[in-house]
Amino acid sequence: MVLENKTARYTAEVAPLSDLSVDGKIDLMSIIEPFLGKEYNHQSLMELLEYCNPYPSLRFGVCSLIKKLEKQSEIWTQSPFTKKETPMEINGLVWMNDIESMAIEAEEKVNQGFRCIKFKVGALDFDSECRMLEVFRKKHASSKIEIRLDANGAFPDDLAKSMIKDLCRFEIHSIEQPIKTGNFDQMGKLCKEASIDIALDEELIGVELSKGKSLLKQIQPQYLVLKPTLIGGFDFCDRWVRLAQEFSIGWWSTSALEGNIGLFDIAQWVSSYSPRLPQGLGTGSLFVENFPAKTKVENGYLFCL
């Protein structure tokens, strides 16, 4: 998505995920086509932004363009990250695979300098996953390496609490979305009673911000995982951050397979908050073809180029 004026050209990314984005199975070109090639001022751009509310991926792109055009992103460009003074710590994501491959990849991530390793769990034999984590933890003390887990809603509602208890012995920092979305009562009970801190991830996708406060009040999670492309843009994420602060909930941001343009924009936004927790912004290296890189990953940190 490109916006041009007489002096500059601004580019933003629209990157829906077919199985996860609210608009992932919609022909977004047909949605945006009537608005292409027109002249815009601030008012008309804001109207376009509101029009895109039902389409989070499109809204993310329009929101990014507006921030670049209005130079609202100056707070980003003046952050220590964007000024190339301070890199941003990120987690090393171990992609879902067979147990042996995941164990090997986790060790590779440690050797690459990551101090926070994130494992996907719940898709394979649970006992085998536990044995993998046990072996990993015996090699790497919690004082040196942090473990995050992401279940992607895979745990059965009635077994989730006991499964989380089994995982607790591996000194886990947090687990994302242990059960499927929509079961607020059960999720709230887990957040209150589970032996590992819980982060909401998919639970936030498609939620109207007007209902965000009641959602957090009911569930009371320990963390939120904010994905700007799936949530609908940085202004929506800012509002989630304010709600998190109101309820003393921690948060971090995760990229959702954006290319280098979207990844850099997300990194700039995150850096404006001077994050203390490792972020989930290491997915840019997955693509064979991509836009020119504006970041690089080194020793477990994301650097601005």
Distance (Å, rounded) from C-alpha 241 to C-alpha 207? 14
Encoded tokens for 215:
């959602």
Residue 244's DSSP bridge partners are none
Which candidate in 67, 118, 161, 227 is catalytic?
227
Distance (Å, rounded) from C-alpha 86 to C-alpha 80? 5
Rg (CA), the chain: 20
Which candidate in 67, 118, 120, 180 is catalytic?
120
Are 259 and 272 in contact by the 8 Å Cβ rule? The answer is: no
161 is catalytic: no
227 is catalytic: yes
Pairing mode of beta strands 295-298, 301-304: antiparallel
Residues in the chain: 305
Distances (CA, A) of 179 to 20, 194, 205: 16, 12, 14
Please identify every residue annotated as catalytic: 120, 227
